[in-house]
Amino acid sequence: MKPKQAKSGSVNQTPPLHLHVPEPTGRPGQATDFSYLHLSPAGAVKRPPIDVLPTDTSDLTFALIRVLDEKGNAVGPWAPDLDQQTMRFGLRAMMKTRTFDSRMVIAQRQKKMSFYMQSLGEEAIGCAHAMALEDGDMCFPTYRQQSLLMVRDVSLVDMICQLLSNARDPLKGRQLPVMYSVREAGFFSISGNLATQFIQAVGWGMASAIKGDTKIASAWIGDGATAEADFDTGLTFAHVYRAPVILNVVNNQWAISTFQTIAGGEDTTFAARGVGCGIASLRVDGNDFLAVYAASKWAADRARNNLGPTLIEWVTYRAGPHSTSDDPTKYRPADDWACFPLADPITRLKDHLIKIGAWSEKEHEETQKELEAEIIAAQKEAELYGTLSSGYAPSPAEMFDDVYKDLPEHLRLQRQQLGI
């Protein structure tokens, strides 16, 4: 909206000021107008060399890198050279993430856990990204990157024990469900405070550079939390020290009930923030597994070759509620995801694989059944060690451990007062 022009000369004729509070383009009962997304056709966006000058990525931050077209073809300069087995693995990892999420949402409704957060619709981002990284690299995730874990060899039983806060919870009952920490899988402890991990990832990358290592860091943040100072601080430090880090902004359009324009996405993109800080930046279709893989690999290669950080805005849609405590029908159209133009990441990769003869409906169904059986078995085993409602919680005595490396006198006394 343009402010009304004042008529010539006189200050008195200036209209009163008014505050602009951005609104989403769709509210309950309406059809969202997704034209604000400014999509590029698949294959249309250039792929610069990895040593591109950050300023020369400006146009990429207002375009959208896509590989899979609507017919299931992989097209354009960003189409990665992935063998069929790798792509099938990726599809399976996405299906595993979604199946795991849906089982855990049910378990939460059964009061076996206090809380859950699913990543419905965003599975391609973590799965393809993790596949483009190497062992030893460290991700600093938010609470919606469980897909990173589904690619690594992480025990589902351990994950579910964390969710159930039971006696085998690797985090000893101290963290909300989904706030995993899996060091050996390159998955940093999730804070729960937003954005703090962004600058920490930059620090981790700086440390790797200080030691002359080859590992890189991958920082994660949502569109909403980019409004926190730690986001900008992360960009500044990453640029200043040319840190080997990938700066991922998952723009799933919604931060609980606030639309991405409230975080500053109106008439600009989150990717554009990177270029302003001197960082090579990309805006990528986050529901396109192949585009996610290609862009992640490009950024990882830059980082590993001392070419510095890359900011990637992943455009996607939070298909489910923010968490099990949220009801999105109160603030957005109920059928929004079905209308989202970037569609379902699982369907898109599945269609592509079928098209190139690397997958079939039958294999898809069988894989789905296998995954369900695997997750149900893991859940059953995890529940043997207790659920939040059944008891077998971690011992209250352990509550006092790990505050400091060694138990100080005052905590020993307090533990004694608790009667343990």
Partner 1 sequence: MMEKIMEKEEEQTSAKKTKPMTMIQALRSAMDVMLERDSNVVVFGQDVGYFGGVFRCTEGLQQKYGTSRVFDTPISEGGIVGAAIGMGAYGLRPVVEIQFADYFYPACDQIVSEAARLRYRSAGQFISPLTIRMPCGGGIYGGQTHSQSPEAMFTHMCGVRTVMPSNPYDAKGLLISCIENDDPVIFLEPKRLYNGPFDGHHDKPVVPWSKHPMGEVPEGYYTVPLDSASIFCAGSDLTVLTYGTMVFVSEAAAKESGVDAEIIDLRSIWPLDLATIVASVKKTGRCVIVHEATRTSGFGAELTALVQEHCFYNLEAPIERVTGWDTPYPHAQEWAYFPGPGRIAAAFKRTMEA
* Binding interface with partner 1 (CB under 8 A): 138, 140, 170-172, 174-175, 179, 181-183, 188-189, 191, 193, 196, 198-211, 217, 229-230, 233-234, 236-237, 240, 402-405, 408-410
Instruction: Give the list of residues 6+ apart from residue 151 with CB closer than 8 angstroms, or none.
Output: 90, 93, 126, 127, 130, 131
Closer CB to partner 1, 189 or 323, in the complex:
189
**Comparison of 202 and 275: residue with beta carbon closer to partner 1:** 202
Shortest Cβ 298–partner 1 spacing (Å): 23
Nearer to partner 1, 311 or 349 (CB): 311
Assess whether 331 carries a catalytic annotation: yes
Q: Nearer to partner 1 by C-beta: 181 or 368?
A: 181
| Residue 383 C-beta: closest distance to partner 1, Å | 21
Nearer residue to partner 1 within complex by CB, 13 or 193: 193
What is the C-alpha separation between 285 and 267, in angstroms, rounded? 18
Give least dist CB 391 to partner 1, A: 20
Q: Give the residue with the Cβ less far from partner 1, 133 or 206.
A: 206
The residue annotated as part of the active site, out of 129, 239, 273, 318, is 318
CA distance 17 to 249: 33
Query: Which residue(s) pair with 311 in the sheet?
Result: 247, 281
Is 18 a catalytic site residue?
no
Q: Least distance (Å) from partner 1 to the CB of residue 199? A: 3
Q: Nearest distance from residue 212's CB to partner 1, in Å?
A: 9
Residue type, 85: Q
Q: Which residues 6+ apart lie within 8 Å of 197 measured at CB? A: 140, 141, 142, 188, 190, 191, 219, 220, 221
Closer CB to partner 1, 218 or 251, in the complex: 218
In the complex, minimum distance from the CB of residue 4 to partner 1, in angstroms, rounded to a whole number: 39
Q: Which residue out of 144, 242, 273, 322 is catalytically annotated? A: 322
Per the residue annotation, which of 36, 47, 174, 331 is the catalytic one?
331
For the bound state, the minimum distance from the C-beta of residue 159 to partner 1, rounded and expressed in Å, comes to 14
- Half-sphere exposure of 232 toward its Cβ, with a 13 Å CA cutoff? 6
State the minimum distance, in angstroms, from the CB of residue 402 to partner 1. 5
Q: Of the two residues 114 and 236, which places its CB atom closer to partner 1 in the complex?
A: 236
Catalytic residues: 318, 322, 331
